[in-house]
Amino acid sequence: MPYNQFRQDCSRFLDLIAESLDIADSLHDKARERYEAIGRWLDRENGPLAPYHPEIYPQGSFRLGTVIKPINDKNDYDIDLVCRLTRNKTGLSQHKLKQEVGSDLIAYAKANGMKSLPQDKRRCWEIEYADGFSFHMDILPAVPDDRTFITSLVIAGVPPELAEHALAITDKKHVNFYALASEWPRSNPKGYASWFMNRMRIRRDALKRHLVEMKKYAKVDDVPDFAAKTPLQRAVQLLKRHRDIMFSEDKEDKPISVIITTLSGHAYNNEADLLDSLIGIIEGMDNHIKVKSGEAWIPNPVNPAENFADKWPGTEKGQKFHEWLAQAKADIQQALDAHDLEGFIDAVAPAFGGEMIKNARARLEKTRPRMEAMVRRASAALARFNVKWRSKPTWPMLSTTRFGLRAHLSRHDGFRPFAYRYRSGGEYLPKGLTIKFTSIP
């Protein structure tokens, strides 16, 4: 098998593994339906929070499109949400905000006959569902951060359109949890999500256009983000599963998802191929770990003063991260050294889990006849170009680039000009024509 074809097959199989990691559309829809229902309750007329216009929206992997199935059925999905109130934090304590949101969430649970009431966790309120959909929701109370802090973010280089989403949040372990104070814990899930999406905008837009061309959606704006998974999102899913397998017995030191996601976002260069993207990401992650005062520093892209690696000093977490990254590189290289798809599959099986490999292999068998038919059609279409007068192009050939050409035909052999309508894939052109190609903008 030609090496380029081998890499394409490996990339396709990795994509099938990542697709097997996706949550079911029904679960995605059910989660959205439920948090929207909570939002309507909190914002109901005459509700205690209605004057503050409560807004519920997802954060974390559910929002980024990088959520993955649990390793086993004993674990459920963790849907992270924000409950943002349009309220000034001045004259308000974290404790008061948390209790006000929690009281209305408890009222919602009682009104809807839920078996268990929301639980007061460190930062959020946890709502657990036990009706066949294995997930729970962590709802984080938040208010807009003050303008002084937002201005400081802009000065530090954060784009204003991202900085404006900065939030002040609640945390029971924060020194000012019960106090009236200007210093609160901070977060910016909307800003971070926008940064992450911008890192793959070129590829995401191309995928959405492709779905429209395939008649699956009427226009680009109709394509939901979760329907167009980019190689960056797929790579993050694969790396998170690789981490989960490697640290199945050491959950305390396993690399956290926000570090994997942030470094992947920095290292991704909008490659179209998943294998190329994965290799580029794991080779480039280290380049985006900074050092400040002798300590590792992975800045939050929307708050440079926040270090995602702040738990590394004095622990083995930093060392464990680098061990995991080295193992990911070694596993991919070992799989590629197989030089055939079956060998590649066998090599990656321990790294991603037998169940995922089984699911991906089953999907591969279903798609194989269709892929083989496509190859036959493509080969037949290319055969028409195997003519003796065909010359090799003088420009570099880029197999991952898409562009359009328009052919202009004219006749300059002394005979009467005529209009010739050329159709791609039609009859051979007659002699005596001049062909001029121009790019389609």
Q: At what angle do helices 25-42 and 94-111 cross, to 10 degrees?
A: 110
pLDDT at 379: 52
pLDDT one-digit tens code per residue, 296-309? 999 999 999 999 99
Residues whose CB is less than 8 angstroms from the CB of residue 176 and which lie 6 or more positions away in sequence, other chains included: 93, 94, 183, 184
Least Cα distance to 255 among 327, 193, 194, 196 occurs for 327
pLDDT for residue 428 is more than 90: no
Distance between CA atoms of residues 421 and 416, nearest Å: 16
Distance between CA atoms of residues 193 and 305, nearest Å: 18
Pair of tokens at residue 216: 């699956």
Q: What Rg, from alpha-carbon coordinates, does the chain have?
A: 27
Over residues 65-85, mean pLDDT: 85
Q: What share of the chain is helix, strand, coil (3-state, %, to 5)?
A: 45, 15, 40
pLDDT for residue 418 is more than 90: no
Residue 240 sits at the vertex; the CA angle it makes with 237 and 246, to the nearest 5 degrees, is 140
pLDDT for residue 88 is more than 80: yes
Sign of the CA dihedral 238, 239, 240, 245? Answer: positive
Q: What is the pTM (predicted TM-score) of this model? A: 0.81
What is the number of alpha carbons within 13 Å of residue 440 lying toward its C-beta? 7
Q: Helix H segments across 43-168?
A: 61-64, 94-111, 147-155, 160-163
pLDDT one-digit tens code per residue, 353-377? 887 888 888 888 877 655 555 445 5
Is the CATH code 3.40.50.300 the one for domain 23-196? Answer: no
Over residues 11-22, mean pLDDT: 92
Over residues 39-67, mean pLDDT: 95
Q: pLDDT confidence of 75, banded at 50, 70, 90?
A: low
Distance between CA atoms of residues 1 and 343, nearest Å: 13
Residue spans per domain, the chain: 1-22+229-392, 23-196, 405-439
CB 27 within 8 A of CB 358: no
Exposure string over 306-321, b if 16+ CB within 10 A, otherwise e:
ebbbeebeeeebbebb
Classify 428 as helix, strand or coil. Answer: coil
Percent of the chain's residues with pLDDT above 90: 61
